[in-house]
């Protein structure tokens, strides 16, 4: 809880695995595969969070646990406004004295905080930068003495109901060690599975609104029912702790009434929850049919997010993406046959996104975007080998002994570069044996080397029939790397 907040889901899992292994190696007994989430998650609370739009993936649930369980106030890295939206919805129902939302730039911030601290409100500060206002230090460090907090030149009565939360839309902020020790930093950057769930909810909400309303109602009812069961258990325990021996319990009419009512209520709730669980499973089965739509949307979103690596100017918000997806659901060709509907929407939305993003790109980056989009879709459909993609980008690794140049159409230096590329292809299953074929039939490749359009020519020896176009590009890159841009165009088409 103290240290894993800033990290991604995968890195947190790696940390927990290392810690478990280390604990076992020291001979300390531990539950198999124990994790922070397993130990600290309260299913009732998690359902309430889900009803307040917190994504239902492990990372988001862990963040919720840390947010409300840590001693230090949370500072959330929230580029897609996931945490912001959740706190506003959840705080509206859960904050006894209300939720106030401010920006760090508000001129009356400190005055508003004084009121919030006294009356036990929840306060959310949006758009926090990399530096925190030093005036907030007493709040961050909870410098409370005898029930009062010194803020500026005033002493303010401290309410235990007060909560202080901060969100930053910066995708990768760098907080100084001095800031990091005062707050709990949480990484709320969206995960692929979390986005997939959201897109599925949005699709079902637009396409089958009655089904989504039913699903939301069941989640809310189950959360409320589970909360009621906990309250019943607490009231029974309170009644029992008043009586120290069994004789008093049997003579306590109030406790007998509580037990009787609790039994009837809990039985009724359990029956309702069992019924709603069956209904929820039926709804989920219907929803799951359309998961490929949500999966494609998730793939596309993370593709356009990566464009910021090419140029920091290329920034796209989740809200913009969700609006575009919603328009795609409304405007794409309808069909009562799920596979046809899924294909229609995926084709329509992919093209809509491509057209919209291309408007914001420099001309020089459009081909690169087209390639990345194509490759990510193929990865998602498991139609492209990641080893081949890595080889296409980076080529072979390690030192290679260069044989005597068998060609009369390549200079020794050019042959050395070509051979390095071709020799390494033996690492790829699809291209095994190609290096040997090239060395034995090098003359046949001269046509490819001399052509003005080698990207449109077949490979010698029937290799064009054995390889798909992407694998042929790997070969072309070794002989005519200057034509790869044109080959990429063919590949995308």
Note the pLDDT tens digit of each residue in 95-105. 999 999 999 99
> Which DSSP state fits 430?
G
How is residue 96 written in tokens?
């006894």
Q: What is the DSSP string of 467-491?
A: S-HHHHHHHHHHH-GGGHHHHHHHH
How is residue 429 written in tokens?
């299953």
pLDDT grade for 2, boundaries at 50, 70 and 90: confident
* Fold that domain 291-384 belongs to in CATH: Helicase, Ruva Protein; domain 3 (1.10.8)
Please provide the average confidence, as pLDDT, over all residues in the chain: 90
Instruction: Quote the CA–CA distance of 304 and 352 in Å, as a whole number.
Output: 13
| Sign of the C-alpha dihedral computed for residues 412, 414, 419 and 420 taken in this order | positive
Q: CA distances (Å), 291 to each of 335, 338, 460, in order?
A: 16, 11, 43
pLDDT grade for 137, boundaries at 50, 70 and 90: very high
Question: What pTM value is reported for the model?
Answer: 0.76
Pick the CATH number of 9-190 from 3.50.50.60, 3.40.50.300, 3.30.2130.10, 3.30.230.10: 3.40.50.300
Instruction: Quote the CA–CA distance of 237 and 158 in Å, as a whole number.
Output: 31
Backbone angles phi, psi at 381, to 5 degrees: -90, 5
| Sign of the C-alpha dihedral computed for residues 454, 459, 464 and 469 taken in this order | negative
Which range among 214-228, 288-302, 427-441 shows the weakest confidence by mean pLDDT? 214-228
> What does the pLDDT read at residue 452?
94
- For tokens 């911030």, what's the residue? 109
> Which DSSP state fits 82?
H
pLDDT grade for 127, boundaries at 50, 70 and 90: very high
The SS3 assignment for 187 reads strand
Residues in the chain: 493
Give the model confidence (pLDDT) of 469-488 as tens digits. Answer: 999 999 999 999 999 999 99
> What does the pLDDT read at residue 27?
95
Q: What is the DSSP string of 92-144?
A: HHH-TT-EEEEETT-TTHHHHHHHHHHHT-EEEEES--SS--GGGHHHHTT-E
- Of these ranges, 84-88, 171-175, 398-402, the one predicted with the greatest mean pLDDT is 84-88
Q: Which helix (H) or strand (E) holds 197?
A: helix 192-207
As a whole number of Å, the CA-based R_g of the chain is 30
**In the predicted model, is pLDDT for residue 12 greater than 60?**
yes
Within 13 A of 56's CA, how many CA atoms are on the CB side? Answer: 12
pLDDT grade for 223, boundaries at 50, 70 and 90: confident
Question: 363-380 and 484-492 helices cross at what angle (nearest 10)?
Answer: 50
If you average pLDDT over residues 267-280, what whole number do you get? 83
Instruction: Quote the CA–CA distance of 388 and 349 in Å, as a whole number.
Output: 28
Backbone angles phi, psi at 280, to 5 degrees: -65, -40
pLDDT grade for 249, boundaries at 50, 70 and 90: low
End-to-end CA distance of the chain: 48
> What does the pLDDT read at residue 99?
96
How is residue 364 written in tokens?
């020089």
> What does the pLDDT read at residue 218?
81
Instruction: Quote the CA–CA distance of 315 and 445 in Å, as a whole number.
Output: 44
If you average pLDDT over residues 137-142, what whole number do you get? 95
**In the predicted model, is pLDDT for residue 273 greater than 90?**
no
Please state, for a pLDDT cut of 90, what percent of the chain lies above it. Answer: 63
User: 184 forms bridges with which residues in the sheet?
Assistant: 74
Q: CA distances (Å), 136 to each of 102, 164, 173, in order?
A: 14, 11, 19
Domain boundaries, the chain: 9-190, 197-288, 291-384, 393-492
Within 13 A of 9's CA, how many CA atoms are on the CB side? Answer: 15
If you average pLDDT over residues 377-406, what whole number do you get? 91
> What does the pLDDT read at residue 46?
87
Give the model confidence (pLDDT) of 339-380 as tens digits. Answer: 999 999 999 999 999 999 999 999 999 999 999 999 999 999
> What does the pLDDT read at residue 260?
84
Give the model confidence (pLDDT) of 35-62 as tens digits. Answer: 999 889 887 788 889 889 888 788 999 9
């Amino acid at each position: 809880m103290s240290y894993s907040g800033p990290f991604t889901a995968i890195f947190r899992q790696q940390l927990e695995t290392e810690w478990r292994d280390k604990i076992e190696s020291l001979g300390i007994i531990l539950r198999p595969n124990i994790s922070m989430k397993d130990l600290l998650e309260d299913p009732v609370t998690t359902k309430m969070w889900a009803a307040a739009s917190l994504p239902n993936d492990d990372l988001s649930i862990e963040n919720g646990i840390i947010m409300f369980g840590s001693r230090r106030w949370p500072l959330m890295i929230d580029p897609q406004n996931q945490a912001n939206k959740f706190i506003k919805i959840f705080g509206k129902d859960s904050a006894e004295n209300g939720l106030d939302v401010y920006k760090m730039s508000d001129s009356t911030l400190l005055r508003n905080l004084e009121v919030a601290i006294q009356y036990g409100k929840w306060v959310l500060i949006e758009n926090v930068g990399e530096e925190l206002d030093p005036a907030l230090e007493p709040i961050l460090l909870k410098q409370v003495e005898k029930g009062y907090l010194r803020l500026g030149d005033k002493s303010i009565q401290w309410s235990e109901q007060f909560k202080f939360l901060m969100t930053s839309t910066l995708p990768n902020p760098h907080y100084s060690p001095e800031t990091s020790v005062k707050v709990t930093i949480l990484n709320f950057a969206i995960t692929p599975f979390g986005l997939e769930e959201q897109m599925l909810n949005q699709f079902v909400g637009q396409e089958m609104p009655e089904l989504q309303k039913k699903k939301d109602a069941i989640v809310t009812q189950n959360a409320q029912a589970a909360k009621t069961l906990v309250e019943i258990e607490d009231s029974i325990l309170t009644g029992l702790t008043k009586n120290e021996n069994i004789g008093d319990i049997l003579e306590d009419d109030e406790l007998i009434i509580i037990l009787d009512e609790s039994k009837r209520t809990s039985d009724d709730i359990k029956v309702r929850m069992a019924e709603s669980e069956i209904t929820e499973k039926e709804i989920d089965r219907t929803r799951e049919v359309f998961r490929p739509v949500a999966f494609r949307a998730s793939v596309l979103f993370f593709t356009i997010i990566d464009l910021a690596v090419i140029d920091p100017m290329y920034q796209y918000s989740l809200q913009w993406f969700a609006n575009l997806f919603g328009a795609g659901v409304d405007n794409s060709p309808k069909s009562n046959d799920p596979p046809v509907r899924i294909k229609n929407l995926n084709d329509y939305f992919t093209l809509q996104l491509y057209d919209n993003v291309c408007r914001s790109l420099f001309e020089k980056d459009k081909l690169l975007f087209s390639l990345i989009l194509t490759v990510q879709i193929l990865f998602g459909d498991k139609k492209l080998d990641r080893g081949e993609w890595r080889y296409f980008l980076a080529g072979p690794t390690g030192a290679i002994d260069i044989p005597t140049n068998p060609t009369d159409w390549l200079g020794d230096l050019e042959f050395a570069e070509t051979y390095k590329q071709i020799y390494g292809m033996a690492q790829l299953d699809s291209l095994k044996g190609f290096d040997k074929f090239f060395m034995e039939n090098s003359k046949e490749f001269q046509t490819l080397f001399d052509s003005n359009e080698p990207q449109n020519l077949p490979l010698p020896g029937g290799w064009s029939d054995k390889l798909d176009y992407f694998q042929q590009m790997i070969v072309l890159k070794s002989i005519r790397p200057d034509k790869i841009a044109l080959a990429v165009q063919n590949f995308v088409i």
